[in-house]
Amino acid sequence: MSLTLPEGFLSYVKEWEEKIGAFIEFKGDVPDAPGTDVSASAAVSGVSGLPFAVKDNIAVKDFSLSCGSKLLEKLRAPYTATVVQKIEQAGAKVIGKTNLDEFGMGSSTDNSALKKTNNPWDTNRVPGGSSGGSAAAVAAGIVPFALGTDTGGSVRQPAAFCGVVGLKPTYGACSRFGLVAYASSLETPGILSDTVARCRSVFSVIRGLDPLDQTTREAPAGAPALNADTAGLHAAEGTGKIIGVLSPEAIAQAISLEIAAIASAANDSGDASLETAAQAAILEDEVRCGFELAKQRLAELGHTLVDVEVPSLKYGVPAYYTIATAEASANLARFDSIRYGARPAWAENPEDLIDKAREAGFGAEVKLRILLGTFVLRSGFQDRYYLRAQRIRSGITRNFEELLGSADYSETAKPNVDAILLPVFPTRAFDRSPNALSPFAQKAADLYTCCANLAGLPALSFPASVEGGLPVGVQLLGRAFAEAALFDIAEGYEKKYPFPHPAGFKAFWS
Ligand code: GLN
């Protein structure tokens, strides 16, 4: 099956690309991948005949695989990731590779060493990150869906910034084979799409066991059925789900108290970074408005909203950055310019070669994280940082499982809630002015997204409203392998309150 690009499409792409720069590589003319066997399921897959984009840290044979890094700028992928292969077999075609924060490290896409990507709603603002190119391409209508990776929020946060749907699946539901690893125990491939139904279709195509990734699992018996082929028919709006609501005010206050306690114990109340971390958790007024509106609308749609608490959430960000940087320092060791990466012009000896290649090839954020990762793992100190972070991770997982039920569906106890509603990020898309979010504040602001990765749970972000000309997203977090419940709730919302588009958007792929 070949892809037919509609008339006017390529000039539409060109016009948008000049403004947003979403792609690292774009192929308007896409031949059939050799050996692509478009199976009979293609016709019912919901993705057949569509183009899609792939974040440039996911391998697609003969396309770039730069990871947004100078070190890998020239790398071409020698094979295709399992998730991409599955989508191609269902009849869709990759038309480009999208920009990202280098190796997926960041929340703005400004950490890309290769180019700048702008938000289609306001080109002075960032698209979010790290899957910012994928989110911008979907929001601009260039592709109906794109793949990203989500290690601590990198699909859901740019989805919220650009006003599209973003799914981080259950850990193990989708193969990571062909993803360039950042933090292996946290990350999964994820989906950015124009509608919830599309996201459901793509997820139904990419999930499942992969012999090339030993962490993959089939959904356990008892997990809610996905019903992808009946998308639109079964939208369960008004069928009364129980949605737990995490109070952002209570979380911000808990973090603030914790930080005050740390400052007083250290006798260092003047530490500006502690103050920044406390501030970063507080929602911007417009985000609070969007969140309150989503609560009200979900109640009107017939769901029951109850207040819930996840006490260990206040420790989520430190635990996340301890584990993510520890894993990153190990995963990025392979980029030594011998196995992978650009080689320096000359070197005295092998050690010098590696030093020079990494010094020239990695950006500042990547170096910071490698240093942090080796610091928390250093001999004799694991107990103080890494193991402590793992204990917090277990605590967060336990807290969520008490509310949502565990991945073991043979338990008879009924969970307290079907999903948990929380903000995605404390701000809308930010700009690049000097008083915009600092890199440190961006990390502190990951608190609402990184908990789903720590617990391995599915989370879906969707546009709740537009406030002050920019989209505000909210997030539903669910029981392991219960993506269907999240899709059902969000689809009901979308049906009543269709998702918005930026000025200049044209629907080529509806
Ligand atoms: N902002 C987070 C980080 O920088 C999330 C990254 C991601 O999910 N890849 O680590």
pLDDT in tens, 335-366: 999 988 889 999 999 999 999 999 999 999 99
Predicted pLDDT of residue 254: 87
* 3 state DSSP class of 358: helix
pLDDT band at 268 (very low <50, low <70, confident <90, very high): low
107 C-beta closer than 6 A to ligand 1: yes
Report the 10 Å Cβ neighbour count for 372: 18
pLDDT surpasses 80 at 263: no
Among 67, 154, 317, residue to substitute to test ligand 1 (most atoms within 8 Å of Cβ): 154
* Ligand 1 center from residue 193 Cα (angstroms): 19
pLDDT band at 475 (very low <50, low <70, confident <90, very high): very high
Using CA atoms, how far apart are residues 33 and 97, in angstroms rounded to an integer? 16
pLDDT of 309 above 90: yes
pLDDT over 70 (residue 195): yes
Q: Which atom of ligand 1 is nearest to the CA of 324?
A: 10
pLDDT at 46: 84
Q: Class of 16-236+476-496 per CATH?
A: alpha beta
pLDDT tops 70 at residue 453: yes
Can you tell me the distance from the alpha carbon of 101 to that of 124, in angstroms, rounded to the nearest whole number?
17
- 203: enclosing H helix or E strand: helix 196-206
Query: What's the confidence (pLDDT) of residue 197?
Result: 96
Ligand 1 near 109 CB (within 6 A): no
Q: How confident is the model at residue 230 (pLDDT cuts 50, 70, 90)?
A: very low
**CA–centroid distance, residue 153 to ligand 1 (Å):** 6
How far apart are alpha carbons 447 and 314 in whole angstroms? 8
User: What pLDDT sits at residue 149?
Assistant: 98
Q: Where would I find the beta strands (DSSP E) of 67-110?
A: 93-98
What is the per-residue pLDDT across 93-134, written as a single tens digit (0 to 9) for each? Answer: 999 999 999 999 999 999 999 999 999 999 999 999 999 999
Per-residue pLDDT at 97: 98
Instruction: Give one word for 393, left, alpha or beta, with left for phi > 0 and alpha for psi -120 to 50.
Output: alpha
Whether 55 is catalytic is: yes
Ligand 1 binding pocket includes 210 (Cβ within 6 Å): no
Which residue's CA lies nearest to atom 5 of ligand 1?
152
Question: How far does residue 284's CA lie from ligand 1's centre (Å)?
Answer: 21
301 CA to centre of ligand 1 in angstroms: 33
Q: What angle do CA 440, 249, 272 make, to 5 degrees?
A: 30
Hey, what are 243's tokens?
């949605």
Q: Which of 69-83, 213-227, 257-271, 496-510 has the lowest mean pLDDT?
A: 257-271
Ligand 1 pocket: which of 56, 147, 151, 325 to mutate (most atoms <8 Å of CB)?
Answer: 151
For residue 468, count CB atoms less than 10 angstroms from its CB and return exposed for 0-12, middle for 13-18, buried for 19 or more: exposed
* CB of 151 shorter than 6 A to ligand 1: yes
What percent of the chain shows pLDDT beyond 90?
Answer: 81
Q: Give the chain's mean pLDDT.
A: 92
User: What b/e string do you get for 113-124 counting C-beta neighbours within 10 Å, with b at 16 or more?
Assistant: bbebbbbbbebe
Least confident of 76-90, 235-249, 370-384: 235-249
Q: Work out the average pLDDT over 6-35.
A: 85
Catalytic residue list contains 154: yes
102 lines ligand 1 (CB under 6 A): no
Burial of 186 (0-12, 13-18, 19+ CB in 10 A): buried
The neighbour count for residue 368, using CB atoms within 10 Å, is: 14
The question of whether 264 is a catalytic residue gets the answer no
pLDDT of residue 95: 96
Q: 11 CA distance to ligand 1 centroid (A)?
A: 33
* Active-site pick, 55, 86, 168, 314: 55
pLDDT, tens digit, 9 for 90 and up, residues 65-91: 999 999 999 999 999 999 999 999 999
Q: Using CB atoms within 10 A of its CB, is residue 498 exposed (0-12), middle (13-18) or buried (19+)?
A: exposed
Across 312-317, average pLDDT: 93
Atom of ligand 1 nearest to the CA of 453: 8
Scanning 52-131, the segments in alpha helix (DSSP H) are 82-89
Token reading at 230: 């009946």
